[in-house]
Amino acid sequence: MPYPFKNIEPKWQKYWDEHKTFKTTENADVPKEKRRYVLDMFPYPSGAGLHVGHPEGYTATDIWCRYLRMNGYNVLHPMGYDAFGLPAENYAIKTGTHPATTTNANIEHFTQQIKALGFSYDWDREIRTCTPDYYKWTQWIFLQLYKKGLAYEAETPINWCPSCLTGLANEEVKEGHCDRCGAQVTHKTIRQWILKITAYAERLIEDLDGLDWPESVKLMQKNWIGKSEGAEVNFTVADKDGKATDTTLTVYTTRCDTLFGATYMVVSPEHPMIEKLTTPEQADAVKAYREQAAKKSDLERTDLAKDKTGVFSGSYAINPVNGKLIPIWVADYVLISYGTGAIMAVPAHDTRDWEFAKKFNLPIIEVLKSEVDVQTQAWTEDGIHVNSEFLDGLNKKDAIAKMLEFLAEKGIGKKAVNYKLRDWVFSRQRYWGEPIPLVHCPDCGTVPVPEEELPLELPNVKTYQPTGTGESPLAGIDSWVNCKCPKCGKDAKRETNTMPQWAGSCWYYLRYIDPSNEKTFCDKAKESYWMPVDLYVGGAEHAVLHLLYARFWHKVLYDLGVVSTKEPFQRLINQGMITSFAFQRKSKSLVAVDAVEERDGKYYAKDDGEELERVIAKMSKSLKNVVNPDEMIQNYGADSVRMYEMFMGPLTVSKPWNTQGLIGINRFLDKVWSISEKPLTDIDITGKIEDKALAALRKTYAKTVAKVTRDTENLDFNTAISQMMIFINECSKFDSLPKAMWEGFVLMLSPYAPHLGEELWEKLGHKESNAYAKWPVFSEEFCKEDSKEIVVMINGKLRDKFSAAPGTDDETLKKMASETEGYKKFTEGKTIAKVIVVKDKLVNIVAK
């Protein structure tokens, strides 16, 4: 009998809404260990609506929250929208529609879709990052960063997307291309607001240790921050006669042990000392080279595969360990943004240096015993030092230590640490973002907008087109730009850059705690009531960007004393990607689903009839294999969609969508519904049960309670569902069921299929929602097997059976087997050659 999801689902959604079933308060009677903050990564409300990937994580956290509530926890489980962003602005450029209009319409659609899935959010806490009462506090946090000296202005070459006409953060550049539109990223030097995330580099690494996060994510963050431990070494620059001058050139090296092998030096084309180092004879060549290098991206410059280029500066430096003169070159494989922007080159033991040395005929000196000939390739592994005087005979580690001592003694070098992490380019030359609350005064310089004047609201503009000059569309609104200096009252101008989309999501989890507070971004008592977030679930694509930025802001707030924890998200889980099927040609190219026909279980391309292979692929518009969650909810119900997504496999693995599986779950729920029509008995399920079948059902029930509890606790939802299926299959064999058992099952089902769960609960005669009903417990005693059936095999044939207590030891089982009739009959007159026992299952006898 199909279960009436079309009636049930809206009914309970309305009930939850009207009764505010999931409203959460800071109840002081609940001790800290009984509070949980469970957070979903909030969606960007794109025009495409909800994707089936959204309900995956959202269902997982929802089951967890519902389970926690039934176990007496006070649970904070909010939802909101990451609502500033480029798509709405790009749409505005095309159509003239205000981004707020588009965004609000999208949010309405998202909300309706999310509500249709029956998630237990406290909707009173909903936030939208684009509303002034929210971004007021984003601006406030920015001002705190500014006042702490963590926001600074600089004319820097930034990554510039020539198509989006905006600056990009390093994190938004993927392999030299804009992460949003795919255009090749170039450089542009403009005035920027930059956040000093590098000041937190060390803590951002260190504090990862205390977090319950996937190791892979921690590693990605560590690699992104890229801590490098080495030394700075000063080289004295020589005059044209080879005599020491007062000028020193400092390099950063992780291999100061190779100093005896340094045969030349390289400075980056942007190095501030270049003019000083360049001799008149080399001036033209150096100038031309620098102009050429300026046109290349960092990626092109550091690409190992690219041919090395460079030019001699005309100067020499003195290698401090042996007094030898080594030439100073200018080359773009050395970046100005890392270390000191200058290196000592050791071609024998560094691949890039080796390639450069070969190309420009520079000497290669081996200083670590190599297993290759360093004239034909660099040796970059460890080894015993040679040609290195006081380092000879030492390995790399010991030689580094010794060299550091030597450099310190001579006062020409010291330990140094560098990070790959760059400061965060925080300004965007776009309209649809938080205005940066600063004023430029000709007399006072940069002046913050007074906090009591926040929010500094976005004005209406006529055109959303970026100016392309590096200024935002806000720059065109004179009435907004022109203002009075908050300090001296003279005419001044507003900052016209806006914040990047990451800003709002850096702290939204704090605003959920106190969403309508007008006095502060989040009340301190409430903050310490809930923080840190106990579980944060979302896609792996945020492993670096969002999670690093949010941790950075959180640490700044911690240092300001306004939040109580060092880290925002204690436990993190990345949900696996939900993939789909696609079809592949021999040439490996993919064919869209609608260009394929199926015959006898095989797949063929409609156009040329080539046989295709069915493969797993990402969902994409072009492959026409995107699953629409609305359609699925419409056809099979929200409970089926929720449960199917949990049944597909473990939460963290990637898994392909298969509607057949969803139909299977829908049938399972039908079965549950039809069982709920059976009469219920008031048999005491904790007492003695004579009926053998019923006793067996009780055992299955006991196992189900134990397994569903354990698996739900561990977020192993797929196996919990399997166990519920086993139980339901057993139940279907009975004409009536003990009420106590059925109630227990309904409660366990409820976090997974909450609409059906509530309906069945009501059917059981309860007047209130089961959201806070007590999670079932059942004595594990009843799980115990009374006896196992042991099979007696003789020469490969089944000859008898007997019963034994579970776990009976091998010797006893052998003895018991030998006492059976079958054994006696079939081994008579034979010798026992071998006996093999499989515990709880069989005794296998070889008789000759």
| 338 scored as a contact of ligand ANZ (CB under 6 A) | yes
Selected binder of Zn ion within 441, 503, 619, 737 (CB under 5 A): 441
- Residues 816 and 787: their CA atoms lie apart, in Å, by 14
Q: How far apart are CA 516 and CA 65, in angstroms?
A: 23
Instruction: By CB under 6 A, name the one of 350, 355, 366, 534 that touches ligand ANZ.
Output: 350
Q: Which does 343 bind (CB under 5 to 8 A by kind): Zn ion, ligand ANZ, none?
A: ligand ANZ
Buried b (16+ CB within 10 A) or exposed e, 385-422: bbebeebeebebeebbebbbebbeeeebbeebebbebb
Q: Which two tokens stand for residue 345?
A: 């080159």
Nearer to ligand ANZ, 403 or 503 (CB): 403
Q: Residue 353, SS3? A: helix
Tell the smallest beta-carbon distance from residue 437 to Zn ion (Å). Answer: 15
Site for ligand ANZ contains 250 (CB under 6 A):
no
The item of Zn ion, ligand ANZ, none sharing an interface with residue 485, based on CB under 5 to 8 Å by kind, is: Zn ion
The least CB distance from residue 327 to ligand ANZ, in Å, is 16
Shortest CB 413 distance to ligand ANZ, Å: 12
Among residues 485, 672, 748, 790, the one that binds Zn ion under rule CB under 5 A:
485
Joined together, the tokens standing for residue 461 give: 């503009």
| Residue 32 DSSP SS3 | helix
For position 526 contacting Zn ion by CB under 5 A, the verdict is no
Is residue 344 a contact point for ligand ANZ (CB under 6 A)?
yes
Q: Which amino acid is at 829?
A: G
443 binds, among Zn ion, ligand ANZ, none (CB under 5 to 8 A by kind): Zn ion
Q: Which does 441 bind (CB under 5 to 8 A by kind): ligand ANZ, Zn ion, none?
A: Zn ion
Of the pair 255, 655, the CB lying nearest ligand ANZ is at 255
Q: How far is the CB of 174 from ligand ANZ (least distance, A)?
A: 20
Q: Which residues line the annotated binding site for ATP?
A: 621
339 binds, among Zn ion, ligand ANZ, none (CB under 5 to 8 A by kind): ligand ANZ
Query: 531 near 33, Cβ under 8 Å?
Result: no
Min CB(266)–ligand ANZ separation in Å: 8
Q: List the Cα angle 311/312/317 in 5-degree steps.
A: 140
Strand order in the sheet with 438-441: 445-448, 438-441, 491-494, 482-484
User: 96 or 272, CB closer to ligand ANZ?
Assistant: 272
**Residue 263 binding ligand ANZ, by CB under 6 A:** no
228 contacts which partner out of ligand ANZ, Zn ion, none, CB within 5 to 8 A by kind? ligand ANZ
Q: Which is nearer to ligand ANZ, 358 or 703 (CB)?
A: 358
Contacts with Zn ion: how many residues (CB under 5 A)?
6
Nearest approach in angstroms of CB 249 to ligand ANZ is: 12
Count of beta carbons in the 10 Å neighbourhood of residue 548: 22
Query: Residue 374 and residue 715: Cα distance in Å, rounded?
Result: 54
Task: Indicate whether 444 belongs to the interface with Zn ion (CB under 5 A).
Answer: yes
Q: How many CB atoms lie within 10 A of CB 763?
A: 14
Sheet strands (E) in 196-271: 227-238, 244-253, 264-267
Q: With binding defined as CB under 6 A, does residue 341 bind ligand ANZ?
A: yes
- The one of ligand ANZ, Zn ion, none whose footprint includes residue 487, by CB under 5 to 8 A per kind, is Zn ion
Stretch that binds ligand ANZ, among 100-108, 248-256, 464-472, 631-639 (CB under 6 A): 248-256
Site for ligand ANZ in 386-425 (CB under 6 A): 418
Q: Which helix or strand (DSSP H or E) is residue 101 part of? A: helix 99-115
Q: Closest separation between CB of residue 346 and ligand ANZ, Å?
A: 4
319 binds, among ligand ANZ, Zn ion, none (CB under 5 to 8 A by kind): none
Q: Which residue among 343, 485, 537, 708 contacts ligand ANZ (CB under 6 A)? A: 343
The CA distance from 65 to 754, in Å, is 12
Residue 440 within binding range of Zn ion, rule CB under 5 A: no
Q: Is 308 in the site for ligand ANZ (CB under 6 A)?
A: no
- Asked if residue 790 binds Zn ion (CB under 5 A), the reply is no
693 interacts with, out of ligand ANZ, Zn ion, none, CB within 5 to 8 A per kind: none
Please give the structure tokens belonging to residue 211.
Answer: 């977090």
Q: Which two tokens stand for residue 623?
A: 């492959």
Shortest reach from residue 258's CB to ligand ANZ, in Å: 4
Site for ligand ANZ in 154-193 (CB under 6 A): none
Q: Does 845 bind Zn ion (CB under 5 A)?
A: no
347, 357 in Cβ contact below 8 A? yes
- The DSSP line for 505-520 is HTTHHHHTTSTT-SSS
Q: How far is the CB of 344 from ligand ANZ (least distance, A)?
A: 5
Q: Which of 532, 530, 534 lies closest to 558 in space, CA to CA?
A: 532
Q: Which is nearer to ligand ANZ, 340 or 820 (CB)?
A: 340
674 binding ligand ANZ? (CB under 6 A) = no
Nearest CA among 183, 215, 3 for reference residue 668: 3
Q: How far is the CB of 773 from ligand ANZ (least distance, A)?
A: 57
Residues in contact with 317: Cβ distance below 8 Å, sequence separation at least 6, in sequence order: 235, 236, 237, 238, 249, 265, 325, 326, 328
Q: Does 362 interact with ligand ANZ (rule: CB under 6 A)?
A: no
- Shorter beta-carbon distance to Zn ion: residue 277 or 441: 441
Residues ≥6 apart with Cβ < 8 Å to 404: 231, 256, 413, 414, 415
Nearest CA to 568 out of 520, 506, 646 is that of 506
Q: Which residues pair with 845 in a beta bridge?
A: 794, 835
Nearest to 344 by CA among 274, 250, 247: 250
Query: Binders of ligand ANZ among 217-236, rule CB under 6 A?
Result: 228
545 vs 532: CA distance, rounded Å? 20
Q: Which positions from 615 through 644 interact with ligand ANZ, judged by CB under 6 A?
A: none
Which among 342-350, 632-640, 795-803, 834-842 is the span making contact with ligand ANZ, rule CB under 6 A? 342-350
Angle of the 638-647 helix axis to the 5-19 helix axis, nearest 10:
90
The whole-angstrom separation of Cα 113 and Cα 698 is 39
Q: How far apart are CA 812 and CA 467, in angstroms?
A: 88
* Binding site partner of 427, from Zn ion, ligand ANZ, none, Cβ cut-off 5-8 A by kind: none
Query: Using CA atoms, how far apart are residues 46 and 30, in angstroms rounded to an integer?
Result: 38
* Of 234, 245, 250, 254, the one binding ligand ANZ by CB under 6 A: 254
User: How far apart are CB 445 and Zn ion at their closest, in Å?
Assistant: 8
Contacts of 293 (CB under 8 A, 6+ apart): 269, 301, 309, 332
d(CA 404, CA 414): 7
> Considering CB distances under 5 to 8 angstroms, the limit depending on partner class, which of ligand ANZ, Zn ion, none binds residue 684?
none
Answer yes or no whether residue 443 interacts with Zn ion by CB under 5 A.
Answer: yes
| Interface with ligand ANZ (CB under 6 A) | 228, 252-255, 258, 334-335, 338-339, 341, 343-344, 346, 349-350, 418
| Interface with Zn ion (CB under 5 A) | 441, 443-444, 485, 487-488
